[in-house]
Amino acid sequence: MLREFSSGALVLRHRQKQWWVAVIEPGREGEPDDRKDVVALPKGNVDAGETPAETALREVCEETGLNATLVTKLGDIKYVYTRKWAGNEKVFKIVSFFLTRYQSGRINDITEAMRHEVRRAYWMLLFEAPGKLSYNGERKMAEKALEYVKAHADELA
Ligand code: ATP
């Protein structure tokens, strides 16, 4: 089976006394609208010569318009999907997720080129993310982020 390695992040921001997380609506030009209602975390392929943490921060910047700083690694998720556009090949995918913190930038301020991959990026309340993200593995990462925030409330404030 083909294998793919990606890396992504939860970008947290404390505002109005609440924690928010940056999410995206993925979408790709030429792809049918079957991902229209998907809400996901920013992520992408680990390029040659890049560490997974570097990939996560680069993808955050490209897909959300935000600059973030690394806090900690949260974990890996795994899934299998079928490449419908390439002979129905099956792909086993591992995605590493990092907890990061907002530093600068305006959400959804992304290049035209990225619009082919991201319909929209926006802030979601972190406590709602485990119920609103589309994929089970990403929901679990949001739960982990909530636990981290509770356990480290003093140092993050
Ligand atoms: P990347 O963002 O890593 O560059 P991509 O857009 O090429 O990736 P995926 O986001 O992995 O690819 O999407 C490929 C297929 O897997 C799609 O059908 C998508 O709906 C599905 N998929 C994406 N994330 C998950 C997940 N966490 N769990 C299960 N299926 C997923």
Distance (Å, whole) CA 99 – CA 10: 5
Tokens linked to 98: 């990092």
The pLDDT-based confidence of 29 (bands split at 50, 70, 90) is low
Residue nearest to atom 13 of ligand 1 (CA): 81
Q: Residue 112 is part of a domain; what is its CATH number?
A: 3.90.79.10
152 CA to centre of ligand 1 in angstroms: 31
Please write the tens of the pLDDT for every residue from 128-144. Answer: 999 999 999 999 999 99
pLDDT tens digits for range 69-124: 999 999 999 999 998 877 889 999 999 999 999 999 999 999 999 998 999 999 99
Q: 35: number of CA atoms within 13 Å, CB side? A: 17
By three-state DSSP, how is residue 109 classified?
Answer: coil
**95-109 pLDDT per residue, tens:** 999 999 999 999 999
Q: Could you list the residue range(s) of the whole structural domain that residue 20 is in?
A: 2-156
Q: How many domains does the chain have?
A: 1
Overall pTM surpassing 0.85 (yes/no): yes
Cα–Cα distance measured from residue 63 to residue 119, given in angstroms and rounded to the nearest whole number: 10
